Structure 1
Amino acid sequence: MSSTQPPQGFTPTGTIASPVDRRRVVFATVVGTTVEWYDFFIYATAVGLVFGQLFFAPLGENSAVVAFATVGVSFLFRPLGAFLAGHFGDKYGRKVVLMWTLILMGASTALIGVLPTYEAIGIAAPILLVLLRILQGISAGGEWGGAVLMAVEHAPRTRRGAFGASPQIGVPLGLLLASGVMALMAMIAPGDAFLVWGWRVPFLLSFVLILVGYYVRRRVEESPVFTELAARKEKAKTPIVTLFRKHALLVFIAALVFAGNNAVGYMTTGGYIQGYSTNPEGPLALERGPVLWAVAGSAVTWLLSTLAAGFVSDRIGRRTTYIIGWILQLAGVFLLFPLVNTGNIWLLFAGLAILTIGLGFTYGPQAALYSELFPASIRFSGVSISYAIGAILGGAFAPTIATWLVKETGSTMSVTWYLAGMTLIGLVATLLLRDRSGIPLGPDHEAEQNISPIYGMAKA
């Protein structure tokens, strides 16, 4: 064990001594991830409402399926973002990576807001749209791991779940903001005006949000665990190689945990429910505005359940919290479409709200769970790559699959069984993992951290 002392200002357990600094970290992770996910979800919301018509109109009845596929394309590039962010985050720090992911996401989103449509520039329009979506995917792949580690590695040992929930609520907050802004623009620019210019305003707003996020993140100190690693010169030279050589199976199982949540969550964050319920040729043909407000309302229940799950996981452990969450999520899956298909906007909201309770309990503890699975020197790579792979296996093409299933079967029941299957996969993956709540996260405890948390496995 090294005799080098931790940097001044940090306790021996690797947490910030000042409560003011802790609050600053929580605030910065919430603001930063909210801005990132607003950018990411505003695209998915627009896909469900206008992109099929504006960028893929020549494809006719297949335009919606192809438009939703562009949501999934970005997920294929999340691992690239995760690999890059994991490598540089484990070598040069969490903070610098978070600054660059924020800028990349914001610039890509703002450029979509000024992109000409197919009618104006032909095939170049959807090509440029997909390229910008790919850049969003690279940014999203690197963002989550850094935000999570900044929150959890700053947290007291007994409050990692609560601190880790701060970047997690960036997802429902981003969805709330994206849906709310889109709903507002649907009121300001109704009908054809929304197709002409109204949808562009939320994308252009990203430029302002990115300045706010950048300012807030600059004021946050680097993660204490990385600072200690750097002081001891114990940073991994090839963190990704080490990760897959020692922990490949763990990465896959952790990815399946997230896939079970992500596939279900992308019914709203991927824009599927919005597109399904407002399609003028569909069975419901509801107005855009009320549906967007219903989605925004469900984002509030998602936020509250995510926060609650983080706190609960500090009391009863990550694994137990997850198991409760999978049961709640499964119930929400079977209630979702029966309520949505009534065509009543209040029952649609009820279906989404019930679903988000389970989603929150299978998402709130994830930051702490992932951080406690991997050793300090390769932790950024481990959490980022597991998250990115889970996103591909889960939400990447969930809206596309749902659209195809309804088209082929003529019934949303097929989508329900698909989502139920993904939920059960997440449950099984969770049962394969030991609970490591409270395990020391600092570099002094790498030997303990390297013991595999998978049942039946010895040292990695």
Structure 2
Amino acid sequence: MQRAVGAAAVGNITEWFDFGVYAYLATTIESNFFPPGPLAQIGVFAGFAVSFLVRPLGGLFFGPLGDRIGRTKVLSITVIMMAVGTFLLGFIPPYSAIGIWAPILLVLCRVIQGFSTGGEYAGAMTFIAEYSPDRRRGFFGSFLECGTFIGYALGATVATVIPLISSPEFASTWAWRIPFFIALPLGIVGVYLRVRLEETPAFQTLLSESEEREGTQASAGIKMLFTKYWPAMLTAGGIVMAWNIPNYMLTSYMPTFLKEDVTRTGGQGIDATSSEITQIIILWAAVFIIPALGMLSDRVGRKPLMLTAAIGTVILAFPMIYLVTLGSVSLVGLSLAVMAILLILFSATSPSTLPALFPTEIRYGGLSISFNIFVSAFAGTTSLIMSALVIGTGWAYWPAVYLIFGALAGLAALLALRDPAGKPLPGSNPAVSTPEEARELAASGHTARG
């Protein structure tokens, strides 16, 4: 179980390391890859968003493939693709050297990253969920999001520290590229850990029940998803929106909002270093809180924590953004901390909730397709949409409106959700972690794996 968690989380660290670096170096990327002008910031966020446009394609390709040939094989491919795309981005010459080819090559690297990510996160959720015992799935699943926050915090930390310890000239030419180069060794570690793991028990059982599983048509699983499991896909989509809109708001848009857009709307900003350090502290704190919330969800259920987050976001969205515009480091820290707490209530519970919406034979595909469609349409474009609206209208509270929109979608989905805490995954035998649990199940007439 520990090896499985580590192998899944390291891929997420690689993925979010890139996002952290990109978000914190947005102004540097803007000056290096785009011509000067008012549309340069929009171009940076369009480069961020383009990877999300291809994520559903990656989900359509890797998800059904993972249901056919296995989780570990596909996850080994996706993590190295993500690392290579990030690594190559660090070699792109600036706009001053190659002109329009600079943003074009940036987009191509983002396409590679987005396509691989389409199969990465949903596969990692599937992988950990199928390895976890039923009564501790919330705890083990939460470590996937620890990987998210570790990766992002590492990226943000490296992107913040390197300019501080290097000369201005080196910082603007080569120092900012170093974080992108770090992604490749991270990816190699991820591949090494994943290829050494056996397939999940649930998938091994599926293979033993159908020796011709590898030869089945991927289109059959996709057809089943859209004809029989579309309610599950909509439920997953609502949870994904409530979870990932604040996720990308906090991690991708807030760094730029605090540096540039607050003053454009008449608010008072704080200096860039204080903003970055505040966010990094919050991200590292979240790493240690998330497992505790995952453990709590195994005891009280997933829905109570998710409902608290969704309702809290509706109530607190406008106050959070108001505090951000006051120009006080302490109030900005308070606002971002509240946003982070509401976010991690979803982060700690969603990785163990979403896999329970689909049976084993279509779990990877169902998660990949539904997760990436809704992330791409509503969450990954958060920075682009918010930047365009805030700059275009001069109104600072569009982030609050969008947070409420996501929370309401989550509330609608939670009304249809049956709390999966402590229950076997659909299509799988009960899974236990102790002899006592096994004896309880045996006494009740169930069989278990463990």
Q: TM-score, normalised by structure 2?
A: 0.88
- Contact 1:260 / 1:422 at 8 angstroms: preserved in 2? yes
Q: Distance in 1 between matches of 2:268 and 2:257?
A: 8
Q: Distance in 2 between matches of 1:187 and 1:23?
A: 37
1:102 aligns with 2:83: no
Letter of the 2:15 partner, please give it.
Answer: E
Query: What is the aligned partner in structure 2 of residue 51 from structure 1?
Result: 29
1:276 aligns with 2:257: yes
Q: Distance in 1 between matches of 2:311 and 2:426?
A: 34
Letter of the 2:93 partner, please give it.
Answer: P
Query: In structure 1, which of residues 22, 26, 41 is the aligned counterpart of residue 20 of structure 2?
Result: 41
Q: What is the deviation of 1:190?
A: 5.4
Alignment of 1:210-225 (within 5 A): 210-225=187-202
- Match of 1:439, SS state, is coil
* Structure 2 residue ranges without an equivalent (≥5): 431-450
Q: Distance in 2 between matches of 1:332 and 1:308?
A: 23
Q: What is the deviation of 1:305?
A: 4.0
Query: What is the aligned partner in structure 2 of residue 352 from structure 1?
Result: 336
Alignment of 1:91-240 (within 5 A): 91-189=68-166, 191-233=168-210, 235=213, 237-238=217-218, 239-240=221-222
Q: Distance in 2 between matches of 1:357 and 1:81?
A: 30
- What is the total number of aligned residue pairs between the two structures? 422
1:85 aligns with 2:62: yes
Which range is displaced more, 62-71 or 287-296?
287-296
Question: Cα RMSD between the aligned structures?
Answer: 2.1
Letter of the 2:217 partner, please give it.
Answer: K
Give per-residue Cα distances to partners, 1:54-99, cap 9 Å, x unaligned.
21224x1111122112211111111111111111100011101111
Letter of the 2:183 partner, please give it.
Answer: S
1:324–1:285 Cα change, 3 Å: closer
Query: What is the aligned partner in structure 1 of residue 438 from structure 2?
Result: none
Query: What is the aligned partner in structure 2 of residue 265 from structure 1?
Result: 247
Which range is displaced more, 145-154 or 284-293?
284-293
- Match of 1:437, SS state, is coil
1:288–1:204 Cα change, 3 Å: farther
Q: TM-score, normalised by structure 1?
A: 0.86
Q: What is the deviation of 1:384?
A: 1.4
Letter of the 1:359 partner, please give it.
Answer: L
1:307–1:173 Cα change, 3 Å: same
- Contact 1:303 / 1:360 at 8 angstroms: preserved in 2? no
Q: Distance in 2 between matches of 1:134 and 1:277?
A: 28
Q: What is the deviation of 1:189?
A: 2.7
Q: What is the deviation of 1:295?
A: 1.6
* Structure 1 residue ranges without an equivalent (≥5): 1-21, 447-460
Identity %: 34
- Contact 1:405 / 1:415 at 8 angstroms: preserved in 2? no
Query: What is the aligned partner in structure 1 of residue 370 from structure 2?
Result: 386
Q: Distance in 1 between matches of 2:172 and 2:428?
A: 57
Higher fraction of helix: 2
Give per-residue Cα distances to partners, 1:171-193, cap 9 Å, x unaligned.
11111111111111121235454
Q: What is the deviation of 1:439?
A: 3.4
Letter of the 1:213 partner, please give it.
Answer: G
Q: Distance in 2 between matches of 1:430 and 1:189?
A: 49
Give per-residue Cα distances to partners, 1:409-451, cap 9 Å, x unaligned.
32212321222222122122211222233332364679xxxxx
Which range is displaced more, 300-309 or 225-234?
300-309
- Match of 2:250, SS state, is coil
